[in-house]
Structure 1
Amino acid sequence: MKTLSKASGIAYLLIFISGFYANFTILTSLVDLNNSEQTTLNIINNSIQFRQGLIGFLVMLTSDVFLIWSLFKITEPTHKTVSYIASLFRGLHASFFLIALVKLIKVYTITSEETNSVELQTSIIDLLSNFDKLWTIGLLFFGVHLLLLGFLALKSNYIPRIIGFLLILGALGYAIDGSSKLYLASYSEYQSYFEAIVIFTGVIGELSFTIWLLVKDFSQKKL
């Protein structure tokens, strides 16, 4: 269990590093959904950078898939049924992100093969918008996963209760941002505030859990 815990912690660290790099360093710097011409030019002129972002997202997805299994094994002793359900919701998140990632791969492919045109610009924005929407839906499922993971942490006799509360706080952050992004017409006006909420609550909850996974010595206590 100790080895599995540390492997899970490393996978979580990879998600933090690759996800922040791909999304905030690469994608955010290249994409403006309100400016199709500039976005298309950015991707065409920075194809290597965009490809690196895709690789980062693939690393993130691979690590996430590993955690579906490993976190189930870690939380199973607390409540097997809830662990199954939590794994299911993380699996739904990974599935939606995989479908979304296909949209980004398509963006990379068509910008490499086609010359810049109004039609290309329209296709790029449609694909990027679909990527954004699909990932947002996936993150809502991820929020449910965190909520259940927080519940399991609170009920366990080996995960600190504070981590359970922080994971539930992170789940609320994803729920607030995701639902607002999908249903609030004026979301763009307050986007920075919603993103700050989800980043702050998510990082605190998941990072605390990551650190615990890395430093916990399961050999000292029988589960």
Structure 2
Amino acid sequence: MSNALTIDRLYVSYHGQDALENVSLSIQEGTMTGIIGPNGAGKSTLLKACLDLIEKDQGDIRFFEQPFKQVRKQIAYVPQRNDLDWTFPIHVLDTVLLGTYPKLGLIKRPKKEDRAYAYHCLEKVGMQDFAKRQIGELSGGQQQRVFLARALAQNAQLFCLDEPFVGIDMASEETMIGILKELRDEGKTILVVHHDLSKADDYFSHLVLL
């Protein structure tokens, strides 16, 4: 089986302090992997370094044997809730529609079929009744489901989620886990930063411990 992600000797530092030191790992395609560890272990740092969201000191990172920039359209990212500005005035459906933009490019506008597909992704996460609501009006669990729908709209091969279950209700967590497992069964690769080791065996087929 091929690797969806390969990391070789990754180093990342903040203000002269090592955040990640000599990290090497590989994630096989079609797996659901949890990045597990205590607060401050570098879980989110690892994910952000892979996605070029923060600068690395050294190391080689490959997605599907290619550099990130060559395959970025195939990678969907769900950030931590506290990394987002929930006061930004945007409707739920338009938020999900943003997931279609990587394939549309900067010039093309979404078509009717793109909006229909975005609505379908909302239906998949059970949020279709909130399509015209402002994203900031939703609960934490509802917001995370909307951002998962945005990732679904991208129709990616690799889904990267950073602490998606923090501060959300159990019903939303169970819904999201069910969808992620369906994606895995379809051959997609799922990579999740997660802090709760007690649920790791139930949620993930593979673990990265930091």
TM-score for the superposition, normalised by structure 2: 0.29
Structure showing greater relative contact order (alpha-carbon pairs closer than 8 Å, 6 or more residues apart): 2
**Which one has a bigger Cα radius of gyration?**
1
TM-score for the superposition, normalised by structure 1: 0.28
Greater strand percent: which structure? 2
